[in-house]
Amino acid sequence: MREIIFDTETTGFDPASGDRLVEIGCIELINRVPTGNTFHAYYNPQRSMPAAAEAVHGLSDAFLSDKPLFAEGIDELLAFLGDCPLVAHNARFDFGFLNHELKLCGRVEVSMDRMIDTVAIARTMHPGAKHSLDALCTRYGIDRSHRIKHGALLDAELLAQLYIELTGGRQIGLTLGSEREDQDRREETAYLAAVRPVRPARPHAATAEELERHAAFLATLDKPLWLDGLAPG
């Protein structure tokens, strides 16, 4: 089975407000194994890069100024994507930008039926834990020491390793399944302890008044069962 892991970098969060896709990186998997085939491209967004976005991925106006427009490389990208499932982290974000660019070019949008979201998988497997790419790489022992800034191809490479782990792959950290389950239980317990209020212990010893009332009640009972067989005192 062929799958494509992909990631994008953009000028912001919302294509509807004018943000554009500026980088895409894709990794090909066959039967959950990377083949070595990749696709990577930068695009001129035809707008300025906000400082906040540049701080995340480091792509400046000067760097992107001589890059092709998305429409100029669209056929090569679509040929690489093919018609197989597309895997992304927080996939609606990446699908949203990819389909916005396709729509601007007058091309057919990618069907959401092809979407596999690793955030959704992680939430099911690790409820209450952190689900960022960094946090999940740490959980699964995936080395990200070379990741200084976000980059589409680099993040797609990390995500490919994570996706393999999330779907029962190679267990990069060589952690036994039972140990992983124990760790998950410990983290879930810690999470629940953090979100649940701590209540002080309630008094559980009867007061003198309660004992007196209890004795008075017992005196009203006629031949209680628990006294059967006992010699009269």
Which is the catalytic residue, given 40, 150, 204, 214? 150
Side-chain-side CA neighbours of 142 within 13 Å: the count stands at: 25
Q: Is 134 annotated as a binding residue?
A: no
Strands 21-30 and 2-10, bridge-based pairing: antiparallel
Q: In what order do the strands lie in the sheet with 33-42?
A: 33-42, 21-30, 2-10, 86-88, 115-117
- Decide if 122 contacts 167 (C-beta within 8 A): no
Q: Is 100 annotated as a binding residue?
A: no
Tokens of 183: 């760790």
Q: Is 7 annotated as a binding residue?
A: yes
Q: Is 146 annotated as a binding residue?
A: no
Query: Is 131 a residue of the active site?
Result: no
Cα–Cα distance list, 20 to 9, 104, 128, 131, 214 (Å): 9, 11, 32, 25, 76
The catalytic residues are 150
Which residue ranges make up the annotated binding site for a divalent metal cation? Answer: 7, 9, 155
Which residue ranges make up the annotated binding site for substrate? Answer: 7, 9, 57, 155
